[in-house]
């Protein structure tokens, strides 16, 4: 027996008039589709969307959502149909990819846990203490003019000898990105610049201009503005380096701990290394 139309309208109205808070919000486990007995969830869709190439990142979610769900459905159809038909090469490749993914996830987790604000501060304090115990170092503030050929650098020298300001000549002639700032390179320490350039800087007194210097980038003339004793870099200046050091040490310690606790039987010495190139062994 058909229900009265008025009852259906009232029921629909009652459902949609519920407060939003009473409705369950989707989560990663929300099922978007089923393929046989396999569920495709919102979590699967979110992960696939995040892994799309850069050119898709600006595409609205409203456009991507149905396409992503369809892609996941088709992938699962192919997975169910073909999983048992993988070749030896494909099975081994899949095992390697899964192993690599899990290993990277493990190391990223260890690294993230290790590089805390507290551990970075401890590393920075140790860095500052070591810095203070080292030999005093000098920093240099310089500007340069870079051109391609020896003829061009002679023209630059002529301009400077005529009394023109170094910055003005740099803006007119220099090919370097610093030309807009009059050739200004800011402050730098030893070991930062390539050797011919650095040696020329070290030979200058503040206010002096070098003779032409040739490097692999071209020909330079260099103005040494001033020098100063190197100061301890701030935490923010070295934070990235400290975090990377902490993460390297933490992941290495984690791996060493796993090795010590594991039963590893490495028998590779018994196999001729030339077999590593025998990809034909993967052909069934």
Domains of the chain: 24-85 (no CATH), 137-229 (3.10.50.40)
- If one compares 246 and 24, the residue with the highest pLDDT of the two is 246
| Whether residue 18 has pLDDT greater than 70 | no
| Whether residue 7 has pLDDT greater than 60 | no
What average pLDDT does range 270-281 have in this prediction? 96
| Whether residue 19 has pLDDT greater than 50 | no
pLDDT (0 to 100) of residue 72: 97
pLDDT (0 to 100) of residue 23: 58
User: How much is the pTM?
Assistant: 0.66
| Whether residue 13 has pLDDT greater than 60 | no
What average pLDDT does range 207-221 have in this prediction? 97
pLDDT (0 to 100) of residue 6: 40
Token pair of 146 as six digits: 């870079």
What average pLDDT does range 188-212 have in this prediction? 96
70-111 pLDDT tens trace: 999 999 999 999 999 999 999 999 999 999 999 999 999 999
């Amino acid at each position: 027996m058909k229900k009265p139309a008025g009852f259906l309208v009232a029921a629909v109205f009652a459902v949609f008039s519920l407060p939003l808070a009473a409705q369950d919000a989707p989560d990663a486990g929300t099922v978007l589709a089923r393929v046989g007995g396999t569920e495709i969830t919102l979590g699967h869709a979110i992960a696939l969307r995040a892994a799309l190439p850069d050119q898709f990142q600006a595409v609205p979610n409203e456009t991507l959502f149905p396409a992503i769900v369809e892609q996941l459905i088709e992938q699962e159809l192919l997975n169910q149909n073909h999983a048992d038909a993988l070749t030896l090469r494909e099975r081994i490749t899949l095992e390697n990819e899964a192993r690599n993914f899990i290993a990277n996830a493990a190391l990223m987790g260890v690294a993230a846990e290790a590089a805390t604000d507290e551990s970075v501060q401890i590393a920075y304090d140790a860095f500052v203490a070591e810095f203070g115990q080292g030999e005093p170092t000098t920093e240099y503030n310089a500007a340069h003019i870079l051109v391609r050929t020896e003829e061009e650098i002679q023209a630059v020298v002529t301009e400077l000898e005529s009394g023109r300001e170094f910055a003005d000549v740099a803006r007119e002639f220099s090919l370097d990105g610093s030309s807009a700032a009059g050739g200004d390179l800011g402050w730098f320490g030893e070991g930062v610049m390539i050797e011919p350039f650095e040696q020329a800087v070290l030979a200058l007194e503040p206010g002096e201009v070098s003779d032409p210097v040739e490097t692999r980038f071209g020909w330079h003339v260099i103005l040494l503005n001033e020098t100063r004793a190197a100061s301890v870099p701030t935490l923010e200046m070295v934070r990235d380096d400290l975090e990377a050091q902490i993460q390297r040490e933490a992941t290495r310690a984690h791996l060493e701990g796993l090795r010590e606790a594991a039963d590893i039987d490495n028998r590779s010495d018994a196999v001729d290394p030339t077999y590593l190139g025998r990809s034909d062994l993967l052909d069934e």
